[in-house]
Amino acid sequence: MSEVIDVSKLDRNFKYQVINEPGGEGLLSCFACGTCAASCPVREVDERFNPRKLIRMVILGMKDEVLQNEFIYLCSGCYLCQERCPQDVGITELMTALRNIAVKEGYLHPSFKAQLEFVYGLGRLYELTEFDNKKRAKNGLPELTPVVDEVKTLLKEAGLSKFVEVEE
Amino acid sequence: MATKNAVVVGSGIAGLNTAFSLVEKGYTVKVIEKKPYIGGKLRQLDWQFPNDACGMCQMYPLYDPSFCDTCIRRGVAKDGIEFLTLSEVTGIEGEKGNFKVKVIKKHRGVNENCTACAKCEEVCPEYRFSDFNYIKTKAIYKDYPRNFPNLYTIDFEACTKCGKCVEVCPEDAIELEGKDEELIIEADYVFFAPGIKERDLSYLKEFGYGIYPNVINSTQFERLISGNHPNKGELKRPSDGKKPKKIAFIQCMGSRDRQNPDCSSICCMFALKEVRLLREYHEDIEPWVFYMDMRAYTKGGYRYFKTTDAHFVNARPAKVEEDENGNLLLYFEENGKFRKEEFDLVVLSVGTSVDIPQFEQKDGIYLLYDTPLEIRKSIISSYAATFEAEVLEKDEKEYTFPLKDEYSIAVVDTTGKVEKVQNLKVIEIPPLRKNEDVVTLLGKLAEESVDLFVLVVDDRFMAERLLAGRINPLTYEIIDAMRESDVKFATERAYLKLKYRVPVKGKARKPQKEVLVIGAGPAGLSVASSLARRGVRVHVVEKKENMGGEGIHIKRDMDGKDETLLEELVKEVTDLRVPVYTNSVVKNIRGIPGDYVVEIQKGNENEFVNVSAIVLATGASPYAPSEYLYGKNEKVLTQREFEEREIDVKNLNTIVMIQCVGSRNEEYPVCSVVCCRDAIKNALYIKEKNPDAEVYVLYRDMMTYGTSEKYYREARRKGVIFVRYAEENPPVVTEEGGELRVKVHDKIFDMDLSIVPDLVLLSTGMRPHEGNYELSKMLGISLDTDGYFNTLNIKFNPIQTKNAGVFIAGTALSPMTMDEAVLSGKAAASKVLDFLNNFGVNQRYRTSAVRERVCAGCALCVEVCPFEARFIEEDEKVAKVIYDICQACGLCVAACPSGSAFLLGEETKGIMHALSRI
């Protein structure tokens, strides 16, 4: 592959944005040793799981590619790479920081977006139906009522409502 | 001569060299060693980089001549050193010149009578864990065959005092009961030469050290493969004793990580050496090396790396997993691909730190170093440290072997095996075992008025050790009865050799205290100011107009502060009124060590100076690049130009730095050492003045060894972007319409990065000085393949040269930083003082000599002498020998047509007569 990355088109301030985000402080300590890249337990079966490459992209300033990268959402946060990192980059926490930046910048993975829409519309991830309450009553539990408005306020305050595309 | 005492704590390579140098300065030295044997870490190593030679033979002759009965260097042993093993310093009181050093000497359990016959070891029922071979040994033990002192030691933590060893010991050498002694040693100076401490790698759980038996550290591997390990060089892995087929070496274990942020400096070269050792002894084993930056920066280091045959993987593995057979699975990434690979043995290149002793810092107490150093640098540090001790003038001595008309010759028999030989008197004495026996021998010789004698013994090593320094070795021939099939015949031959001994008499000649330093760079100035402070008259010759050499281009230090080191040196040299010949070159040098005539040319005028020693501090020259559009585009500069021109960085947007320009390539396979640090220094400077500027450093291996690793880390944290490129795929700089563009292949992405910089800085490094060749021819010393000066030994003798009066300092040796150059200058000054103090005063027996009566003055011997130890005396027209330089190689004897050249103690006539009997 001889694709060319034109660094002048990249965002050189992105790395500073990341180190100022809680969780991203260790980013620049990375010396690209590759410990994380071989640590990820999913890497064996899926080439996308490559923390070193992602960190490289962040340092070079490939902001759009990073924030739209599926890996930051797919990472399950097992902390293996973080534990083994010799330079204390804090990779798992860095993933959180990147997700937070992504959300602030208006990027959200479709799967998260779908979940958000549920929560926004229903106040919870699964719809509360009559069947649920019947079952609860049978077992002597109190009835649940959906708390939609409060959740909506919370999501609006958190700046997440902008991702919701459902008609109200 | 007033004797003064010095204490050296630590008997590793640095401690020993400190002691040797102090002896040369006239001190009586006590070396205090914690362990039961001296030699430190060096004892555990079979080979040393970068010449794959054994180091111990460089050291043995210096402290224990009896071991080296066949070594031509045996005559170099230093007297005046006492070794205190199993001893520790508990406190130091007093002031410089009057220290009282408190020492606790632990009870060894075995006394000097021990002959290391090993009978005790056979019967001992108890075991201990040996920190030498990393295996179990008996509670009464000896680390390896060539220990010094060559005595057994009891580990009282494992010993049950069962007494079995006492029963079998034939020499009555074992003392189970005994107390630790408390000693107070008076000393004028104390030097600490601490050893290195290996880090405990068990915190690296994912690598399984201490969990999987086949994961070992690099010293353990060194022992495992060693010929004097109990396995006798057969490589057996710890778990099942099988010979491994594939071995992984993992670098930076216990260094450059969270717990131990510094680089340990030596492990890269150490691992390369182990790989070579493995390839040499076990060709069928496949070595893999996992590294991050290959820090092969020492003299000859890069060439060494390039010629090492292994599979190199540029990655730090993630983990090691063991299977049911004890094999180890490594997880790593190679060329962007995830990989798993099985190995039989994993060697972790263990990081080290210096075991810094606790002591009050005051004048007269010196610590040699505080970071791990390779042998070469640790020796340089030890020389530099001993510079602090004032030189005690040694008295002149005469070489004597008495002139007499007739000698009385006898046979001294300690074995009771000798029959009558010719008409010789046979004196029977008990076997030589301890000092008292030598007293008996001396008494007998005086009683019978014997001048020369044939000594028949049953243990030559022991006899030679006992006699060393007490009897002129020219007065006897020694016969080892255990090694001779026919003792009578051997005695007869020895007698014939004695019969034809030629008496000699020589007068020592102390040299003038006058020294020439060539080059007024940091190293040269350091030599000059150091020597001038010690009352030596120094002449400095500098080709350029000003003092300072290449150092004047260094404006800032790594911390960004103004560099003042050079200014201080220039001021010191000026204040001391050292004559500096600027705009001058050395036109010609004639003469011999202790007496050189130097022709200095300044313009059209020639001046002659007479000196005793010469220090070459010719420095190195900056590489003049032609690559990467240098000289064609004004935006392409070298790091030095950037530093000197004080370019305004406020308006710079993007800067690209390219490392290894003109270094570490096929044409010049040498690492210039300083350029990575320069790049980081300038990158930090740019980032400080203009944090918005983007700095890309295109590198191959970052050479921020030792504590300078912290600047590399700081640069990354400030946002400097480091991009690794491969040698075979270097960056490409192009110009289009006045705009520069740099393309570099990023291995992590496997993609090209395209950068449009405002400035490209080339890290150009250094090349050897072009005048080196002329000087080397003039002085009869050699250059290495890269064009730097060779010293006597690349590792163990890093300052002196084959020409005994010539010393090397600074970048004339190999690329180094300014601090290192100044230190090596001080070390060279120290060795010059040693030379001036010892030249012509030491009594030497193993040298060649001249029978002046038959010498025709043909000068053939002068021509063949590889050490320049001979010259023709102009008045008498006969050959003379400079005994201090002669190494008794015998070439002159072979070349001499008249038979006037001979080796003391090996006279031709005697040997011929002895041979005629065979």
pLDDT tens track for B719-734: 999 999 999 999 999 9
Is-contact B455 B463, C-beta < 8 A? Answer: yes
Residue B205, pLDDT score: 92
C-alpha separations of B114 from B171, B174, B415, B436, B441 in Å: 6, 8, 19, 15, 21
The structural architecture, per CATH, of the domain A7-104 is: Orthogonal Bundle (1.10)
Q: Which residue has the higher pLDDT, B490 or B54?
A: B490
Inter-residue contact B345 to B244 (CB < 8 Å): yes
Residue to mutate among A35, A39, A88, with most B CBs inside 10 A, is A35
The model's confidence at residue B843, banded by pLDDT at 50, 70 and 90, is: low
**A6 in B contact zone (CB under 8 Å):** yes
Q: Shortest Cα distance from B759 to chain A (angstroms)?
A: 14
pLDDT over 90 at A52, yes or no: yes
| Nearest-angstrom CA–CA distance, B701 and B868 | 43
Could you tell me what percent of chain B has a pLDDT over 70?
Answer: 96
Question: Out of B721, B750, B755, whose CB is closest to A59?
Answer: B721
The arithmetic mean of pLDDT across residues B237-249, rounded, is 94
Q: Per-residue confidence at B400, pLDDT binned at 50, 70, 90?
A: low
Confidence band (pLDDT; 50, 70, 90) for B582?
A: very high
On the question of pLDDT at B841 being above 70, the answer is no
What band does B769 get if pLDDT is binned at 50, 70 and 90?
Answer: very high
Is the minimum CB–CB distance between A106 and chain B shorter than 8 Å?
Answer: no
Enumerate chain B positions whose Cβ falls within 8 A of a Cβ in A.
206, 252, 256-258, 292, 314-319, 331-333, 336, 338-340, 654, 694, 696, 712-713, 716-719, 721-722, 724, 743, 746, 748-756
Integer angstrom CA distances of residue B37 from B40, B46, B634:
8, 17, 62
Question: CA B171, CA B111: separation in Å to the nearest integer?
Answer: 10
B801-824: average pLDDT = 94
CATH 3.50.50.60 fits B636-765, yes or no: yes
Among B629, B716, B621, B617, smallest CA distance to B663 is for: B621
**pLDDT of res. B916:** 85
Check B315 against A4: CB less than 8 A apart.
Answer: no
Distances (CA, A) of B858 to B691, B854, B870, B905: 74, 11, 12, 24
Among the four given CATH numbers 2.120.10, 3.50.50, 3.40.50, 2.60.40, the one describing domain B4-196+356-386? 3.50.50
Class of domain B848-916 as given by CATH: alpha beta
Contact B643, B783 (CB under 8 A): no
Confidence band, pLDDT 50/70/90 cuts, at residue B654: very high
- What is the pLDDT at residue B64? 65
What fold does the segment set B199-354 form as a domain? Answer: FAD/NAD(P)-binding domain (3.50.50)
Average pLDDT for residues B895-910, to the nearest whole number? 87
Please report the pLDDT score of residue B58 as a whole number: 73
**Taking Cα atoms as reference points, which of B541, B530, B536, B533 lies closest to residue B514?**
B536
Of B252, B338, B748, the CB nearest to A44: B338
Does domain B514-619+769-838 bear CATH number 3.50.50.60?
yes
What does the pLDDT average to over B422-441? 85
Structure tokens at A121: 């519309």
Range with lowest mean pLDDT among A5-9, B129-133, B866-870: B866-870
Helix (H) or strand (E) holding B622: strand B620-622
A58 min Cα distance to partner chain B (Å): 11
The answer to whether the CB of B639 falls within 8 A of the CB of B699 is no
Question: What is the pLDDT averaged over residues B813-819?
Answer: 94
Average of per-residue pLDDT across B408-428:
85
pLDDT of residue B43: 86
pLDDT score for B700: 95
The alpha-carbon gap from A91 to the nearest alpha carbon of chain B, in Å, equals: 14
pLDDT band at B77 (very low <50, low <70, confident <90, very high): low
Contact B350, B41 (CB under 8 A): no
Q: Could you identify the residue written with the tokens 């798992």?
A: A92
**The pLDDT value given to residue B526:** 97
Q: Which of A16, A60, A88 sits opposite B721 (nearest CB)?
A: A60
- B31 by DSSP, 3-state: which? strand
* A78–chain B Cβ distance below 8 A for any pair: no
Q: What is the pLDDT of residues B81-98, one digit of tens each?
A: 889 999 999 999 999 999
Best interface-test mutation with A: which of B316, B329, B700 has the largest number of A CBs within 10 A?
A: B316
Q: Identify which of B326, B269, B332 has the alpha carbon closest to the alpha carbon of residue B296.
A: B269
Is residue B520's pLDDT more than 80?
yes
Average pLDDT over chain B reads 90
Alpha-carbon gap, residue B514 to B535, rounded angstroms = 9
How confident is the model over B272-287, as a mean pLDDT?
93
Query: pLDDT class for B70, splitting at 50, 70, 90?
Result: low
How far apart, in Å, do the first and last CA atoms of chain B sit?
50
Specify whether the CB–CB gap between B820 and B608 falls below 8 A.
no
What is the arithmetic mean of pLDDT over B897-903? 90
Q: Is A58 helix (H, G, I), strand (E, B) or coil?
A: helix
- Locate the chain B residue with the closest alpha carbon to A16: B719
Domain ranges within chain A, ordered by starting residue: 7-104, 110-163
Looking at the complex, does the CB of residue A84 fall below 8 Å from at least one CB of chain B? yes
The residue in chain B having the minimum alpha-carbon distance to the alpha carbon of residue A59 is B721
Nearest by CB to residue A34, choosing from B316, B694, B716, is B316
A127 φ, ψ to 5°?
Answer: -70, 140
Q: CB under 8 Å to B171, separation ≥6 — which residues?
A: B113, B114, B115, B117, B433
Task: Give the H or E element holding residue B446.
Answer: helix B435-447
Closest residue to A8, CB basis, from B717, B751, B756:
B756
- Rounded to an integer, what distance in angstroms lies between the CA atom of residue B599 and that of residue B608? 5
Confidence at residue B846, expressed as pLDDT on a 0 to 100 scale: 72
**Neighboring chain A residues of B258 at a CB cutoff of 8 Å:** 85-88
**Which backbone phi and psi does B789 adopt, to 5 degrees?**
-70, 140
CB-based contact, A53 to chain B, within 8 Å: yes
Q: Is the dihedral of CA B257, B261, B263, B264 positive or negative?
A: negative
Report chain A's terminal Cα–Cα distance, integer Å.
48
Q: Judged by CB atoms within 8 Å, which residues 148-167 of A form the interface with B?
A: none
Q: For residues B516 and A116, what is the distance between their CA atoms, to the nearest angstrom?
A: 83
Question: Given its phi and psi angles, is residue B519 left (phi above 0), alpha (psi -120 to 50 degrees) or beta?
Answer: left
Q: In angstroms, rounded to a whole number, what is the distance separating the alpha carbons of residues B345 and B356?
A: 33
Question: H/E element holding B823?
Answer: helix B818-838
Chain B contact set for A84 (CB, 8 A): 206, 318-319
pLDDT at B844: 61
pLDDT at B267 over 50: yes
Q: Which residues of A touch B751 (CB under 8 A)?
A: 1-5
Cβ proximity of B34 and B86 under 8 Å = yes
Instruction: Please state the rounded mean pLDDT for residues B377-398.
Output: 87
